[in-house]
Amino acid sequence: MKSEIVENSGLKRVLKVSVDPAEVTKALDSEFSKIQKDVALKGFRKGKAPMDQVKAMYGEKVSQTVLETLVNANYFDALQEHSLSPITLPKIDVADKPQEGEGEVGGFTFTAEFEVKPEIKIGDLSKLTVTKEVAEVTDEKVDNVIEQIKASQAEVTPLLEDRPAKEKDWVKLDFTGILEDGTKVPNGESKDFLLELGSGSLIPGFEDGIAGMKIGEEKTLNLKFPDDYFEDSLAGTPVNFLVKLNSINKKDFPEINDDFAKKAGPFNSLQELKDKIKEDTKASEEKRVEQKLNDDLLNGLGDIHDFDLPDSIVLQQAESFKNSTTQRLMSQGFDQTKLDEYHSKWEDEYKENAKKSVKLSLLVEAIAQQENLFPKENDISEYFDKLSSETGIDTEKIKSYYAPNEKQRELEFKLMEENVISFLKDKATIS
């Protein structure tokens, strides 16, 4: 076998491999001999069929088998010879297939095109500087939660007064959103929707259009989605809402006292409720602050390193982001035309996010390799036990969930990333 690197551009490599005739002949003879021992042809005992007949019947199949075997073996030998570590599967192109026929069997050549891992030199991590927020729980935050509980305990009762709807009323209405092309707005239809007029819950003009309506009245609101609407495909789009006012109501809110606290849960007093809210809010805030610190560390790690990225991996990741978005939008009722418009608008965003994701993954792996931070068996066992304790799910069921190779790899990367983040916290400058 002879091999040479015929292209070396960025992370792209192309290997040209030549397989000797003698190696092809040996492989063909070996494969035909195996078949001859097992085949039973008419007129011959098992294992006694003439080789020329065996070759005539099984020549094409054997040639393909030998081709695959020799390409695979010689490809990996060539990688070792040139000390190459592919990060992608090779694209194989065979010039001539090994073929049994008249005359001497010839050798063949093939090329293998792939990308290799970039060389990553981890820089001075003390230059990685991030600021950690302080987890604060103010009385205002506690009061906001109390107000949310208060709102959840409120009773909606019909207004015993014959008049049009006005600001501060709680109304129940049916509505359907229709776009200019006659299609319904995805998730833009509801029955007996409860709305406080003047709350600004819906798009501009909607609540103003309801004000002045009487119970049982129907109306068409000619509106437009805001230019900064959260669903980009609808931003700035004209829309007609067909509405019917079903009832005008008021909300009776409970008084905030010890009885209110008892109704909210296993609390004997309002102070107990507030203490529990403060405890839960602090835990939640600490978790948020820690997650933001982790994100800032990884983003900062990417900012202080620069290296080539494997194009094919970036494209795969961008396609994965696109597919995930497609599934989400389809669940919201998007048709193919709207999907195409959305993807066209955000194509560059998919690619940029993919570059960031691939870069950080390679950096995390490089640090794990350099510092020996790959998860060990006991790390995985401890994770299973912890997850079982938190969720109440049997450990064996959790192990079964992570049994498939893809799930195993996802878990191993998650734990590796956690180890790397802990390492970064020791090395970075955190203020």
- DSSP line for 301-352: HHHT------HHHHHHHHHHHHHHHHHHHHHTT--HHHHHHHHHHHHHHHHH
Domain limits at 27? 2-115
Q: Is the domain of 173 the same as that of 224?
A: yes
Kindly state the tokens that stand for 53: 């007949």
- Clarify whether residues 221 and 272 are in a common domain: no
Number of domains in the chain: 3
E-state strands within 96-167: 108-115, 129-130, 155-158
Question: pTM (2 decimals)?
Answer: 0.74
* Chosen domain end from 62, 89, 115: 115
Domain boundary among 63, 89, 115: 115
* CB-based contact 219:206 (threshold 8 Å): no
Whether residues 415 and 273 share a domain: the answer is yes
CATH (domain of 38): 3.30.70.1050
Bridge partners, residue 429, by sequence? 129
User: What's the CATH code of the domain at 230?
Assistant: 3.10.50.40
List the end-to-end C-alpha distance of the chain, in Å, as a whole number: 58
Based on the domain organization, do 273 and 248 belong to the same domain?
Answer: no
The CA R_g of the chain, rounded to the nearest whole Å, is 34
Same domain flag for 209 and 309: no
Per-residue pLDDT of the chain (431 residues; tens, 9 = 90+): 899 999 888 999 999 999 999 999 999 889 888 888 877 777 676 767 788 887 888 888 888 899 999 999 999 999 999 999 899 999 999 986 665 544 456 789 999 999 999 999 999 999 999 999 999 999 999 999 999 999 999 999 999 889 999 999 999 999 999 999 999 998 899 999 999 999 999 999 999 999 999 999 999 999 999 999 988 888 899 999 999 999 999 989 999 999 999 999 999 999 999 999 999 999 999 999 999 999 999 999 999 999 999 999 999 999 999 999 999 988 887 888 888 988 998 999 999 999 999 999 999 999 999 999 999 999 999 999 999 999 999 999 999 999 988 899 999 999 999 999 999 999 999 99
C-alpha triplet 395, 400, 405: angle, nearest 5°: 130
Q: Which residues contact 258 (CB under 8 A, 6 or more apart)?
A: 268, 269, 270
Residues 321 and 189 in one domain: no
Residue 384 maps to a domain: yes
